[in-house]
Chain A
Amino acid sequence: AAGVIQSPRHLIKEKRETATLKCYPIPRHDTVYWYQQGPGQDPQFLISFYEKMQSDKGSIPDRFSAQQFSDYHSELNMSSLELGDSALYFCASSLGLRLAGGLNEQFFGPGTRLTVL
C-alpha cells in the first residue's frame, strides 16, 4: 500500500539559509499535518491543511510557512534557519473528518532530518 512520502530524507543547511521540505500524502487523503520532533522530544504540531486550506496552527515560527497544492502535496518552507531548527520533521496525512466515517486516522511519513550547522 502507498504510504506518505517525504523528501528529502536528509538535509544539511547553514544558519540563515532556507529549506523546503516536501510531503506527498497517501492517495485520496485530503488532510496533511506537519510536526517537528527535536532530539529526545515528542512530536510538536506545526500546522495542518484540509482541502488545500490551512485548518489549524500550532507552534510554528513566523519564519516558517507552508501550503497544500492542488494535487494535495504540501511544502514546508523554512527561512533564516537557526541551530534550534535541527530536528526531524514529519508529515502525516489522513482522510478528513468529512469522510471515512470520521476516523481521521493519521499515517506518518518517514520524516526529513534537518541539520542546521
Chain B
Amino acid sequence: KQEVTQIPAALSVPEGENLVLNCSFTDSAIYNLQWFRQDPGKGLTSLLLIQSSQREQTSGRLNASLDKSSGRSTLYIAASQPGDSATYLCAVFNTGGFKTIFGAGTRLFVKA
C-alpha cells in the first residue's frame, strides 16, 4: 500500500531564503509525481509534474526532483516571497491504477 510522507509539516522562513520541501513514498512503482499548492480553503494548483522516467522539472523559481529508487522527491523554491505562503502537497500516481495518494502537506509561511 502506497504511503506518502512530507517533511517538514510546517516551515517558517524569512523572505528571500531558498528552501527545500521533502516528499517520500514507500512504493517505487509510480507513474508520476505531482506537486501542488493549496491556499487556505481553496483548490489545488498544479505546480510541477515529474514522470517516473524523469529526474527533475523546473518552472520559474521552482525545481522538483525525483529519485524513484529511493522513493524521494524534493521541491526547491528559490528566493522565497511572502506570496509563496501556502500548503504544498505532493501526490503520487501509481502504475496499474487510477488512484492518487497525497502527502499531508508542508505548510509554508514566508515572512516579509
Instruction: Known pairs A31-B98, A104-B31; list 8 more (Cβ under 8 Å).
Output: A43-B89, A43-B102, A45-B99, A48-B99, A56-B97, A88-B41, A102-B51, A103-B49
Given the interface contacts A42-B105, A107-B46, does A58 sit within 8 Å of B99 by beta carbon? yes
| B contacts, CB < 8 Å to A | 31-32, 34, 36, 41-46, 49, 51, 89, 91, 93, 97-105
Given the interface contacts A97-B31, A103-B51, A104-B93, does A90 sit within 8 Å of B98 by beta carbon? no
**Contact present for A106 and B101 (CB under 8 Å):** no
Q: Which 6 A-B pairs have the closest CB atoms?
A: A55-B98, A56-B98, A48-B98, A108-B44, A42-B102, A110-B43
**Contact present for B44 and A103 (CB under 8 Å):** no
A87 to B17, CA, bound (A): 34
Number of interface residues of A (CB under 8 A): 28
A25 within 8 Å of B (CB atoms) = no
**Contact present for A110 and B42 (CB under 8 Å):** yes
Interchain Cβ contacts within 8 Å, total number: 62
In the complex, which of the residues A31, A43, A48 contacts B44, with contact meaning CB atoms closer than 8 Å? A43
| Residues in B whose Cβ lies below 8 Å from that of A44 | 102
| Residues in B whose Cβ lies below 8 Å from that of A24 | none
A50 within 8 Å of B (CB atoms) = yes
**Contact present for B89 and A42 (CB under 8 Å):** yes
A-B contact pairs, 28 of them (CB 8 A): A33-B100, A35-B100, A42-B89, A42-B103, A43-B89, A43-B102, A44-B102, A45-B99, A45-B100, A45-B101, A45-B102, A56-B98, A90-B43, A90-B44, A92-B44, A103-B32, A103-B51, A104-B31, A104-B32, A105-B46, A106-B34, A106-B93, A106-B100, A108-B44, A108-B46, A110-B42, A110-B43, A111-B42
